[in-house]
Structure 1
Amino acid sequence: MFIVVVKLVIAGVIGYLLGSANSSLIVGKFYGVDVRKHGSGNAGMTNTLRTLGKAAAALVILGDILKGVLACIAGLYIMRGGVTAEIFNRDYLGDMGLMMGGIFSIAGHNWPLYFNFKGGKGILTTLSVALMMAPAMALTLLGVFIIIVALTRYVSLGSIIAAALLPVGSLLLGKGPVFVIFSGILALLAVFQHRENIKRILGGTERKLGEKK
């Protein structure tokens, strides 16, 4: 049991360090811009799109998804001692390592060690972790996100609702209690990071996608 706990801690640390490599801040350095000082002040894809444009936003999407995937694979590797085929044929311990690495990669994105603990909201990294945990459910919730954004043009609202549905989807699919708990943590992190957006949505001051400042 002690070895399992140690491995989970290692998976979490590696996930956090990977997540701390905030893509929007790294991309911004090549443009000579700290996106936290522009637009909404958030170090994420949406603010990067508004501040630096589509090419920079595309790089952020790639980076944020990749680090979540790598963190999950690292956690799986640490718990199982191998990667090949295990990504698609996992056991309980493998899933624990994968989810631990994934959750801490989101925490690293939100509160990055390398950038004074001021990061983004972690939605893209949350998506990548959810895809590693349960691909079909994650893609379904991605569809929910797209529909909500298309109807309302509120990226934040789509993110909040899709994330909040993670534990609901886990329960409906009959996932185990540990999976549901991890899903709930993912949802809580996403909603917590969007608390200011929720206030602005309720107050009618939230910016819509494509809306000029």
Structure 2
Amino acid sequence: MGSEVLKLCFVGVVGYLLGSANSSLIVGKFYGVDVRKHGSGNAGATNTLRTLGKKAALFTTIGDMLKGFIACLIGMYLAGDTGVIIGGMAAVAGHNWPVFFGFKGGKGILTTLAVVLMMEWKIALILLGIFIIIVAISRYISLGSITSAALLPVFALIFNKSVEFVVVSFILALIAIARHRKNISRILNGTESKFGVKKSS
């Protein structure tokens, strides 16, 4: 029992440190730019795209998802399904509140997607499809992210997943929605930036 707890603690620490390696901020260093000081101020792939372009956003996307996958794989190897959850949750927390970057990170959507893919790929792909449809219709990346996050626990229930899975899904959804509170306000006010649409000067 004691060794299992130690393994889970180790998985949590490693997951958090992996998550804290914020991809947009690391990529931004190669451009001499801190994306938190530009655009929406968010350290994520969307703001990286608007600030530094497609290539930087691609590397950010790969990095944000990769650290989620790695954290879950380490968790799976050391502690099974529980390890996947602990490692994944810790990676999301690290992305949002990175110890290496003054605890000011992104919103964790891509890392969350990677974690859900590891937990239940069918749900992850459904939510990704919903995200794509919403963004295609509304042009709001944030709205797609918020809606997909909110539906995560709903699909966890529909798929009759374990209580542990449902609880984790609720937590991940709440974190994602809370991190988008400013976006929600801008959407309601009609001032949220639309994907592919440049703001008029």
Same structural fold, with TM-score higher than 0.5 when normalized by the shorter chain: yes
Give CA deviations for 1:134-185 in whole Å, capped at 9, x if unaligned. Answer: 0011001000000000000000000001011111101100101001111111
Task: Give the whole-Å Cα distance in 2 for the aligned partners of 1:132 and 1:114.
Answer: 25
For residue 26 of structure 1, report the CA deviation from its aligned partner: 0.3
| Structure 1 gap segments, 5+ residues each | 80-93
For residue 4 of structure 1, report the CA deviation from its aligned partner: 2.6
TM-score using structure 1 length: 0.91
CA-atom RMSD, angstroms? 0.9
The one-letter amino acid of 2:65's match is I
Task: Give the whole-Å Cα distance in 1 for the aligned partners of 2:71 and 2:45.
Answer: 19
The one-letter amino acid of 1:13's match is V
Partner of 1:43: 43
Trace 1:50-61 onto structure 2 (pairs within 5 A).
Answer: 50-61=50-61
Task: Give the whole-Å Cα distance in 2 for the aligned partners of 1:2 and 1:162.
Answer: 37
For residue 5 of structure 1, report the CA deviation from its aligned partner: 2.5
TM-score using structure 2 length: 0.97
The one-letter amino acid of 1:124's match is L
Trace 1:78-89 onto structure 2 (pairs within 5 A).
Answer: 78-79=78-79
Give CA deviations for 1:6-37 in whole Å, capped at 9, x if unaligned. Answer: 22221111100000000000000001111001
Partner of 2:119: 133
Task: Give the whole-Å Cα distance in 2 for the aligned partners of 1:13 and 1:201.
Answer: 36
Partner of 1:16: 16
For residue 206 of structure 1, report the CA deviation from its aligned partner: 0.9
For residue 120 of structure 1, report the CA deviation from its aligned partner: 0.5
Trace 1:189-208 onto structure 2 (pairs within 5 A).
Answer: 189-208=175-194
The one-letter amino acid of 1:25's match is L
For residue 102 of structure 1, report the CA deviation from its aligned partner: 0.3
Task: Give the whole-Å Cα distance in 2 for the aligned partners of 1:163 and 1:2.
Answer: 34
For residue 3 of structure 1, report the CA deviation from its aligned partner: 2.9
Trace 1:86-101 onto structure 2 (pairs within 5 A).
Answer: 94-101=80-87
Trace 1:98-117 onto structure 2 (pairs within 5 A).
Answer: 98-117=84-103
The one-letter amino acid of 1:171's match is L
Q: Which moved further from structure 2: 1-10 or 118-127?
A: 1-10
Partner of 1:90: none
Task: Give the whole-Å Cα distance in 2 for the aligned partners of 1:211 and 1:95.
Answer: 42
Task: Give the whole-Å Cα distance in 1 for the aligned partners of 2:5 and 2:174.
Answer: 23
1:145 aligns with 2:99: no
SS of 2:194 mapped into structure 1:
coil
| Structure 2 gap segments, 5+ residues each | none
For residue 211 of structure 1, report the CA deviation from its aligned partner: 2.3
For residue 186 of structure 1, report the CA deviation from its aligned partner: 1.0
Trace 1:119-198 onto structure 2 (pairs within 5 A).
Answer: 119-198=105-184
For residue 60 of structure 1, report the CA deviation from its aligned partner: 0.5
Task: Give the whole-Å Cα distance in 2 for the aligned partners of 1:103 and 1:25.
Answer: 20
Task: Give the whole-Å Cα distance in 1 for the aligned partners of 2:168 and 2:14.
Answer: 18
For residue 77 of structure 1, report the CA deviation from its aligned partner: 1.5
Q: How many residues get paired?
A: 199
Task: Give the whole-Å Cα distance in 2 for the aligned partners of 1:74 and 1:51.
Answer: 33
